[in-house]
Each structure stands twice: as structure tokens, then as C-alpha cells.
Amino acid sequence: MSVSTAAADQTVCAPLAVLGRDVTVPLVTGGEVTYAALDYAASAPALQRVWDDVAAYAPYYGSVHRGAGYLSQLSTDLFENARRTVEEFLGCRAGDQVVFTRSTTDSLNLLAAALPADCQVFVFETEHHASLLPWRDARVTYLNAPRTPDEAVATLEHALAARTVSIEGGYGPALVCVTGASNVTGELWPVRELAAAAHAHGARIVLDAAQLAPHHPVSVQDLDVDWVAFSGHKLYAPFGSGVLAGRSDWLREADPYLAGGGASRKVTRRADGGVDVEWHDSAARHEAGSPNVIGAYAIASACKALTEEGFDSLLARERHLIRTVREGLAEVPEVRVLSLFGDDAPRVGVISFVVEGWNSSHFAAALSAEYGIGVRDGLFCAHPLVRTLLGSDPQTQGECGAPEAAPGEKSLNAIRVSFGAGTPDEHVERFVRAVRELVRDGARWQYRTEDGRCVPAV
């Protein structure tokens, strides 16, 4: 698909300018339209401010740590200052470490690799796979999906009270992993209450803030969590970086996540021909190799931009967008919005739904091809949660199914619309109008399945 750029008519401008806001895309029905990026929960567009900061730094890019040259020293200062910016953004405690990773998934896998021996992990089945799956080498208790925030706390307290004795006697170390905001329903989880329950039972807690940090302030101290993980690409920062921030002891005592240069303080040969290694006990212990300096700088730039804009104003406008979408969908009887905690639950700009009589892949394809609206369809890397939410839905295949799905699950998928600080009013208004027209009039084009995706028939 070819793309071009043109000045976009943004009815009500977003508070923060993002790249791609003036990109136009062709429609199968003819003509072009400004692309409505409503898939922020997967990857948010980069802030213009972040892109400008990176472009200004790019001519001075150099290797970090131990370099004698000016550009190396400049890049090292920038990299370490980025770490301090993230510490401030997250309200870290004295002694906490900020480790730069590739993503939330990488951060949680790093923490999983650093768990003490015989650690018990407690995780709700409602988690994104990034926080559901990394704990394979630990004793894991998967908790059923709660239907209220209070039930979530009670479920965790019951599970922690029933902990099994470790092989060495006693309860041993334990970790709770929980999301801050669901990547499927957008609903906020009772993080502070869950942290209190974890600590009351001698467990630690890690917060998956991938969907929370772009929308709400996240403070390690205020929430009283032990670690926070998030991704730059959801925080309006490109280049594939992430963060794991929190207590240093388990990280300091674990073997390096990657063995190599930068993680090692001293390496010597032994008489028997082997090598002895003394590892760093700082964040460098888990940042072996040449770090993604530009990615770390981009995250820091995004943190500054969000802080300077102020979350109060960002939250107020996002609530307006959420209200516009939810009220618009409520006017279409065939639409069912997915929820764990109910309509009144506080949430971020992430809303998933199904449409009676439509396969979700077909509906999402029509939104893109006929209206220039980018949403996501499927199970959103949260299969147990979406299966729970859709378990009672009729399994009709629809015009464009998912051929790789198991029998009886041809329509077991949903549509997700997500937005944030770079979304103009026109994008969500067009989305609501498109949903209404597709349900009322049907698609104006024919579609077929190709490589597991529903695409316009040529």
C-alpha cells in the first residue's frame, strides 16, 4: 500500500503532536483519507518531540562507556542521564535500579531469570502473555479472572495464604505479577491494594505498566510495588527499548541476563585454562553488549514530554475520548463491549468489542480498507482473558474467518480500538460513524482470507 502525506484537518487537535498525523492512505472505494491510528495499545506513534530530540542527537551518536573520544563521552552522559530521567518519571526509591531492556516482555523475562531458587509466582490468567508466560522455571499459581477489583484482591490474598512450603522448609520467596491496565479491556487494576496484600504475606510484586504508563502517572513509591516494567514503543518512543526498574537485591544476586562485555567488571584466566569473571552489581550487570542508546534517550524524551504536559490534562482529554467511543458504541445494539469489572470501572483508552453477525477480522479489515482506520483484531496476546470474555459467544465463522483457528473457534476473536495523547477528535468520531454504518449497511467491498488475514478482494 502506498502512502503520502498531506496536511490533516484535525477538528480538535491532540495535546501532543505525533508522527504520522498527516499521513494519508488510499481507500478501496476510491480516494484517500488521513489515516486514523487507533492501535495505540500495540504501538503508539512516536511523539514529534521525541523524534526531534533523537534527530538532534544523531550526529553525535557514539559508543557508550569506557570511550575516550568526545562523542563517546557525550553518549555515555546522555545514556546515564536517561536512566536518571526514568528514575524520576517512575518515582523510584533510593537504591532502586533502572535497567534498560528491549521491551516489557524482555524486562519480565529478565526478572524471571533473576528469581531466587524455589520462588513461587502468582499471576492472574488475565495477564498479557508478556507477564503470563516468563515464569516457566518457577512454581507458578495461575489465578482465575476476577470480576471486580475487590475480588482480585481477595483472590490474591487467599492464594498467598495457601502458599505451599518450599523444598527447604518455610514459604520461601514469592512474587506477584499484575498488570496496571488491561491491554484488552483498558480497565485499571487495584495495584496499590494488591501490593499491600502481597507484602502482608511476605511476597514481592512486579507491575506490568506497559498500558498504564502512557496514560497515568506511575510511582514505584506511591503504589508500593517492588518493580515496574514498561515498553518505550507504547510510551510514544520508537527504537525498541524497555525498562525494568525496582529493587536491586534480586538483580544483583542473579547471574547476568546476558553474559558479555559491559556486564563484567574483571575477567582473568585461571591456571586450569578457564576464566574467572567478576560481574558488575549495578544495572550494567544485565545490560551486556552495546546498549540501545537512542532507544534509551527516546524513552527519556517521552518521559519528559508527558511530565511537562501534565497527566491531569492528558487524563481529562482521554476521558473525553473514552466517553465519545463508549457512548457511540452503546448506540449500536449489535455491539458488545468486553469488560471484567463493569461499565463504571475506571479505564484507559483501550476498548475491545465484538459485533453480532460479524467476524472481528472482517470488521477490522473493513474499517481499514473503507474508512482508513487502523484497529486491531484477534486475541491480543491475552488468549486466556479473551477466551473467558468471549466464551459464551456463538461460534459462527462469518465471511472472513481465521483458518488457523481450532474447530468451533473460527470467530473467537475481538476488535480493539485504542488511543492516547496524540489522537485528535476526528479519528474517534470517524471510528464511531464507521461502526454505525458498517452494522447498518454492511461492507461496501468483498473480502477474502489471505495468510490468515482478512483482506479486500482484488
Catalytic annotation, residues: 381
Report the alpha-carbon angle 370-382-188, nearest 5: 90
Cell reading at 321: 475520548
Q: Cα 107 to the chain's mean position, in Å?
A: 12
Contact present, 428 and 34 (Cβ < 8 Å): no
How far is it, in rounded angstroms, from Cα 364 to Cα 359? 9
Contact present, 27 and 247 (Cβ < 8 Å): no
Give the CA distances from residue 254 to residues 114, 131, 393, in Å, rounded to whole numbers and listed in that order: 5, 20, 46
Question: Within 13 Å of residue 351, how many CA atoms lie on the same side as its CB?
Answer: 28
How far is it, in rounded angstroms, from Cα 267 to Cα 163? 41
Are β-strands 204-208 and 227-231 bridged in parallel, bridged antiparallel, or unpaired?
Answer: parallel
Burial class of residue 365 in the structure, from the number of CB atoms within 10 Å of its CB (0-12 exposed, 13-18 middle, 19+ buried): buried
Nearest by Cα to 351 from 326, 324, 379: 326
Q: State the Rg of the chain over Cα.
A: 23
Question: Within 13 Å of residue 118, how many CA atoms lie on the same side as its CB?
Answer: 10
In the DSSP assignment, the letter for residue 231 is: E
Strand partners, 275: 269
Give the CA distances from residue 227 to residues 90, 224, 251, 411, in Å, rounded to whole numbers and listed in that order: 10, 9, 11, 37
Cβ burial 136-162 (10 Å sphere, 16+ → b, else e): eebbbbebebbeebeebbebbbebbee
Cβ burial 313-329 (10 Å sphere, 16+ → b, else e): ebeebbeebbebbeebb
How far is it, in rounded angstroms, from Cα 290 to Cα 143? 39
Phi, psi of 402 (to 5 degrees): -115, 95
